Structure 1
Amino acid sequence: MSSYRSPGVEAARRAVAAKLREVRLEAGLTGHELAVRCGWHKSKSSRIENARTPPSDTDIRKWCEACGAADQAADIVAASRTADSMYTEWRRLQRTGLRRLQESRMPLYERTKNFRGYASHVVPGLFQTPAYASALLSVIGRFHGTPDDTAEAVRARMSRARVLHEGEHRFALLVEESVLRYQIGDAATMAEQLGHLLSVMALPSVSLGVIPFGARERGMWTLETFNIFDEERVHVELLTAQVTVTAPGEIALYVKAFRELRKMALYGTAARALVTSAIAAVG
């Protein structure tokens, strides 16, 4: 598991652990006695109770049954699943391929009115061309060992991009200049992608800022890719997992980070010049 720690995720996991500890204490059992009843190594109950090891649904049911509190298992399982959904490994999200993951996000994009995003590695999905998306998703699928449904996943991603042209949505995105320089696919694919960015920048619903390599007085360090959906949630993309942030205090921090990053970005003619320069470099 990644070393990333979200206060919201950790708090949810600690709450589950605290409830299990309460169940054990009410039963008058020591941690060792509980482990014996469950058929576990003696340290397992301690790891679960101290939120070092997230319990499985089966672990929770065994714990409650051993404590004579089987009727509490369902509620604790539900709380544990909520905590677990905040940190979801890509291998779980992608176990049936990439298409379903792309499609599952469509309702969230459709209902979001104010979308803000920051990309430090690759072009944001909403702005990708089919060729660029195909090159990127094929690498992602191969790296994570997912079933090869790249063509279907690309079609789903292109379908999602229709929100750029429909409804009353606003899209404010920031990319590091390095995103324009990292080549995904062959030279023709990258040149086409950069040209598409120039077209996207002209859309009335889109604000695209580029943070140049030489940004003066850089007030924020380079961060992991994140997307803010209204004030509802934030998705943070790690190598191993997607972290979903829903705690208002944490969302506020990402909004603050976006504002700081936006101060360093170039827009309009200056941003277009950076994209044009990147196209020339590819050529």
Structure 2
Amino acid sequence: MSNGASEARKAFALKLRDLRRDAGLSGRAFADATGMHNTKISRIEHGRQYPSEDDIRAWCIACGVARRIDELIAIHREVEQMWKEYRRDLRKGQRHVQERSGPLYAGTGLLRAYEAIVVPGILQTAGYVRAVLSINAELHDLPLDDVEGAVEARLARQHLLTHGDGTNNYSFVIEAGVLGNWFGGTAVMQEQLDFLHDATYLPNVALGIIPPGHRTMWGGECFYIFDGRMVRSEMWTGSYKTTQAADLAFFERAFDRLRRHAVYGDAARALIADEQQNLQTSENF
């Protein structure tokens, strides 16, 4: 299990511990009220044992907050599901993963995405997608013959961005370093940068680039906000997904702060042009 999953479990354990403390119950009194052994209570509160749904019901009743049972069980289930090991998810192949995301993108009216390392998926050109997914296949010991199908599946949803009717709208914020991370060689990157340049003119797209320099918000892992109803973030070892209102509010606040650092329009195109010049210079050496 990834560190993120472990932290999510610990956060849930703290919620339960705080409920007991707020109710003024000592460990022994709580054990008497719930019928749980002191050792089990301690393990749950320290995140070393994950409670069952029956444990949560007994916990809330003992603390006098039965009204929170449904809320906490919903969080409990989400914590259990929010992290998926990549290797397990990818057993069906990268094409399956890409095709499965198609309906989500098609049904999203506003997608907000932040990326610090790579170009957001729906903005990637064929060569760039191929390079990124080939790296992923090698990293996770996946068959390379699945890559082309995965490339096609990812590109199949790009029409939502380039030929949309206004139903699907996009707000991207990327770090300037994304432009300088060259995947697939200089020719692939020139094509990718050309596409990003053109995307700045699309009426349903806001493409912001955070230039180097002073800032009041750090960068971090990528995240995608789908219509303010779900957030998805992928790391090296797992995929985090949440629909909890508090989590959505946090990521929306983070996106808004990151967006304030970004430049748009001509200023963004100037950053892209600078990197295109760097590519041309590198080809001459």
TM-score category, normalised to shorter length: 0.7 to 0.9
Count of paired positions: 248
The alignment yields a C-alpha RMSD, in angstroms, of 3.2
Aligned 8 A contact 1:8 1:245 in 2: no
Q: In structure 2, how many angstroms separate the alpha carbons of the residues matched to 1:261 and 1:6?
A: 27
1:108 maps to: 104
Partner of 2:164: 166
Give the corresponding residue for 2:4.
Answer: 4
2:220 maps to 223
Which residue of structure 2 aligns with residue 189 of structure 1? 188
Aligned AA (2:239): Q
Aligned to 1:240: 237
Contact 2:111 2:224 in 1 (8 A): yes
Q: Which runs of 5+ in 2 are unaligned?
A: 17-30, 53-73, 281-285
Instruction: Select which of 136, 143, 154 maps to 1:140.
Output: 136
1:265 and 2:262 matched: yes
Post-superposition offset of 1:52: 2.7
Q: Deviations over 1:25-67 (max 9, x none)?
A: 99978699xxxxxxxxxx9x98678643569xxxx8xxxxxxx
Q: For the structure 1 residues 8 and 281, does the alpha-carbon distance in structure 2 shift closer, same or farther, using more than 3 Å as the test?
A: same
Cα distance in 2 for residues equivalent to 1:182 and 1:193: 11
TM-score, length-scaled by structure 2: 0.75
In the alignment, which residue of structure 2 is the partner of 1:198? 197
Match of 2:20 in 1: none
Secondary structure of the structure 2 residue equivalent to 1:145? coil
Q: In the alignment, what sits opposite 1:39?
A: none
Code of the residue aligned with 1:236 in structure 2: it is S
TM-superposed CA distance for 1:243, in Å, is: 0.4
Does the 8 A contact of 1:123 with 1:179 survive in 2? yes
What is the aligned partner in structure 1 of residue 248 from structure 2?
A: 251
8 A Cα contact 1:236 1:244, kept in partner: yes
SS in 2 for 1:95: helix
In the other structure, the counterpart of 1:128 is 124
Distance 2:235 2:11 in 1: 20
Letter matched to residue 275 of structure 2: A
Q: C-alpha deviations, 1:155-190, integer Å up to 9, x for none?
A: 000002222123411100001000000111111111
Cα distance per residue 1:66-115 (max 9 Å; x no partner): xxxxxxxxxxxx99764332111211221121011111111111111111
Gap change, CA 1:28 and 1:191, over 3 Å in 2: same
Aligned-partner Cα distance in 1 for 2:216–2:2: 26
How far has the Cα of 1:147 moved from its partner?
Answer: 3.1
| 2:13–2:46 Cα contact (<8 Å) kept | no
Does residue 155 (structure 1) correspond to residue 152 (structure 2)? The answer is yes
Name the SS of the counterpart of 1:107 in structure 2.
helix
> Which one-letter code corresponds to 2:230 in the other structure?
R
Partners of 2:50 and 2:172 in 1: how far apart? Answer: 35
String of CA shifts for 1:230-275, please: whole Å, max 9, x gaps.
1111111211111002111111111111111111111000100000
Letter of the 2:129 partner, please give it: A
Check conservation: 2:9, 2:50, Cα contact below 8 A. no
In the other structure, the counterpart of 2:211 is 212
1:224–1:238 contact (8 Å) kept in structure 2: yes
CA distance in 2, matches of 1:247, 1:80: 11
Q: For the Cα contact (< 8 Å) 1:95–1:147, is it kept in 2? A: no
The residue that corresponds to 1:69 in the other structure is: none
| Conserved 8 A contact 2:78-2:242 | no
